[in-house]
Amino acid sequence: MILAGDIGGTHCRLALFQGKAEALEIVHETRYKSREFADFTAALERFLDESKPGSLTHAGFGIAGPVKDGRCAVTNLPWVVDVRDLKKTLQLDKVALINDFAAQAASVPYLAESDVVALQAGEPDPAGNVGILGAGTGLGQAVLAPVEGGGRFVIVESEGGHVDFPAQTPLEAELVQFLKKQYHRVCIEHVLSGAGLESLYAFFLARHPKSPPGWLRAELQHGDPPEVISRVGMEQGFLPCEQALDQFVTSYGAVAGNLALQVVARSGIFLGGGIAPRILPWLQSGPFLAAFRNKEKFESWMRAIPVKVIMNDRCALWGAAHYIRGDRFLRG
């Protein structure tokens, strides 16, 4: 029995798997709200008490933050998780703690066609690298590089979400100045995340001559603001929401294109995270691909790169389970 976890700033998802390395299946799964627990150990102990897993052989966890020497301070949550503590709690030696997007990268070789939607078919090179990025509570990135000989991969973790936001237009330069009122330094994650969607809405609302309608104010107050903004934007229900979503998608495309160039992602770019599946129609019909391809001399090269949205929200769980169970992955 394998225990796998996807530890995020908003949710903590835990699952039990059984089966062979190439054919694992979930036998029990629970999702908790992360901030309901003082630390990850408390969430893990509740899960173990509720699921009663019996004999565990392996445990793998993807976590939203940089992992060094088996230890991670979660980026958007006041938790510190250490693989040595996990081994004691689980009384298990085979335990891995990896970045959550490294876990998503580990899921890519196992994704079925039904798990993804293609934004651009491209001309995939199986020997090429894969870039993975995704906006959610934050912005994660990772790289999956095939090892010569086939069948094995190097996973390169990244904190690329914290690089400087690449303003390319006068409007984006104005946006950076607006965000500097809140942040000393503006990084990509300040735009491409749930909080980034809220900031984009605030930016365009400040430029809009009319106040938001009462129904929208009520939804923003009582609902999930990023979900409300993206939904109203797609419905074209209030211009600042639509403008916020357009800018979000444009920036997403530009950053995805930058990653493709940086890691020579000839095998494809995969969009993970929680936001992309919710705004899929806008990614398909909006300015995402135009921004992705807008790399001057490399535009034709960018058109050859497959771009896919991961629709399976369990991919980090599957990746963590496959990572600890198999021998296909090395960490760069």
Residue 131 sits at the vertex; the CA angle it makes with 242 and 138, to the nearest 5 degrees, is 50
96: β partners: 60
Taking a C-beta distance cutoff of 8 angstroms, is the pair 307, 271 a contact? yes
Helix (H) or strand (E) run with residue 330 in it: strand 329-331
Record the tokens describing residue 77, joined without a space: 């949550």
8/62 Cα distance (integer angstroms): 8
What pLDDT was estimated at residue 213? 96
- pLDDT value at position 23? 77
pTM of the model: 0.91
pLDDT for res 45: 93
CA dihedral (321, 324, 330, 332) positive or negative: positive
pLDDT score of 65: 87
Domains annotated on the chain, with CATH: 2-106+314-331 (3.30.420.40), 112-311 (3.40.367.20)
**Amino acid identity, position 126:** P
pLDDT in tens, the chain (332 residues): 899 999 988 889 999 998 776 678 899 999 999 999 999 999 999 999 999 888 889 999 999 888 999 999 988 789 999 999 999 999 998 999 999 999 999 999 999 999 999 999 999 998 899 999 999 988 999 999 999 767 889 999 898 999 999 999 999 999 999 999 999 999 999 999 999 999 999 999 999 999 999 999 999 999 999 999 999 999 999 999 999 999 999 999 999 999 999 999 999 999 999 999 999 999 998 799 999 999 999 999 999 999 999 999 889 999 999 988 876 887 65
Both tokens of residue 59? 């445990």
Question: What pLDDT does 252 receive?
Answer: 97
3-state secondary structure 236-253: CCCHHHHHHHHHHHHHHH
Per-residue pLDDT tens over the stretch 237-268: 999 999 999 999 999 999 999 999 999 999 99
For 187-212, what is each residue's pLDDT tens digit?
999 999 999 999 999 999 999 999 99
Identify whether the C-beta of residue 101 lies closer than 8 Å to the C-beta of residue 144.
no
Q: What is the DSSP letter of 119?
A: E
140 contacts 161 by C-beta, under 8 angstroms: yes
Closest to 233 measured CA to CA, from 196, 197, 274, 190: 197
d(CA 271, CA 43): 28
